[in-house]
Structure 1
Amino acid sequence: MSFSSALQSLRKEAKVTQEELAQNLGVSAQAVSKWENGSFPEGDLIPRIADYFHVSIDYLYGRAGKETGIEQQVVSALNALWESYRQSGADMDAANKAYIEKIYDIMWAFQISAWIETSDYYPRPEGTDENSRMASVYANNYGYSYMSPNRNKDFYLFLKEPENKEGFGGLLRQSDDVRNFFRFLSDKTNMELLGYLYCLKYGEYVRRETLIKALGVSGDQIDKSLEYLMSLEEGHGNHPIQSVSVVNDEGKAETAYGMNMNMGGLLFGLLEIADTYVHAPCGFKLQIMNRCKEWVER
Structure 2
Amino acid sequence: MDKNSTFRINLVKRRKALGLTQEQLAARLNVSPQAVSKWENSSYPDGELLPRLAKELNISLDSLFGVKVMDSERDIEQLIDDEMRSAHKEKRSELFMKMMYTALCACNPNIDTVGRLRSSFEHETFAGLKTDRELALSRLNTDLRYFCFLEVPEKGVNSYFGDTTNMVRLFNTLADDDAISIISYLGASVRNKMFSVAMISEKLDIPSEKVQHIIDRLDRFGLVWRVSADLDDKPVILYGYTHHTCLTLILVLAKTITNYLKYMDPNVEEWERGAFRRENGEQDEIVPQVPWWKEGEL
Q: Following TM superposition, by how much is the alpha carbon of 1:172 offset from its aligned partner in structure 2, in angstroms? A: 7.5
Q: Percent identity?
A: 14
Q: Which amino acid aligns with 1:187?
A: D
Aligned to 2:108: 115
Distance in 2 between the 1:247 and 1:151 partners?
45
Q: Following TM superposition, by how much is the alpha carbon of 1:171 offset from its aligned partner in structure 2, in angstroms? A: 6.6
Aligned to 1:289: 269
Deviation string 1:180-230 (CA, Å, 9 cap, x unpaired) is: 101100111111111221121012111221112112222221221111111
Aligned to 1:14: none
**Aligned match of 1:69 in 75, 79, 84?**
75
Aligned pairs (5 A) from 1:47-126? 67-81=73-87, 95-116=88-109, 118=111, 120-126=113-119
Distance in 2 between the 1:172 and 1:291 partners?
22
Say whether residues 1:269 and 2:249 are aligned partners. Answer: yes
Deviation string 1:68-121 (CA, Å, 9 cap, x unpaired) is: 32122111221222xxxxxxxxxxxxx332111111111011111112464543
**Aligned match of 1:252 in 225, 231, 234?**
234
Q: Which amino acid aligns with 2:237?
A: T
8 Å contact from structure 2 (residues 130, 269) kept in 1: yes
**Aligned match of 2:208 in 209, 215, 219?**
219
Say whether residues 1:243 and 2:223 are aligned partners. Answer: no
Aligned to 2:154: 163
5+ residue gaps, structure 2, are 1-69, 279-298
Q: Which amino acid aligns with 1:104?
A: M
Q: For the structure 1 residues 143 and 214, does the alpha-carbon distance in structure 2 shift closer, same or farther, using more than 3 Å as the test?
A: same
Q: Which amino acid aligns with 1:241?
A: V
Q: Is the partner of 1:139 in helix, strand or coil?
A: strand
Q: For the structure 1 residues 226 and 289, does the alpha-carbon distance in structure 2 shift closer, same or farther, using more than 3 Å as the test?
A: same
Query: TM-score, normalization: structure 2?
Result: 0.63
Q: Which amino acid aligns with 2:262?
A: C
Aligned to 1:42: none
Aligned to 2:7: none
Q: Which amino acid aligns with 2:236?
A: E
Q: For the structure 1 residues 172 and 193, does the alpha-carbon distance in structure 2 shift closer, same or farther, using more than 3 Å as the test?
A: same
Q: Is the partner of 1:138 in helix, strand or coil?
A: strand
Deviation string 1:121-143 (CA, Å, 9 cap, x unpaired) is: 342135545xx122221221111
Q: For the structure 1 residues 215 and 140, does the alpha-carbon distance in structure 2 shift closer, same or farther, using more than 3 Å as the test?
A: same
Q: Which amino acid aligns with 2:240?
A: G
5+ residue gaps, structure 1, are 1-63, 82-94, 233-238
8 Å contact from structure 2 (residues 152, 275) kept in 1: no
8 Å contact from structure 1 (residues 127, 134) kept in 2: no
Query: TM-score, normalization: structure 1?
Result: 0.63
Q: Is the partner of 1:150 in helix, strand or coil?
A: coil
Q: CA RMSD in A?
A: 2.5
8 Å contact from structure 1 (residues 148, 156) kept in 2: yes
Q: For the structure 1 residues 73 and 223, does the alpha-carbon distance in structure 2 shift closer, same or farther, using more than 3 Å as the test?
A: same
Q: Following TM superposition, by how much is the alpha carbon of 1:297 offset from its aligned partner in structure 2, in angstroms? A: 4.1
Distance in 2 between the 1:258 and 1:297 partners?
39
Distance in 1 between the 2:116 and 2:95 partners?
11
Distance in 1 between the 2:71 and 2:169 partners?
56
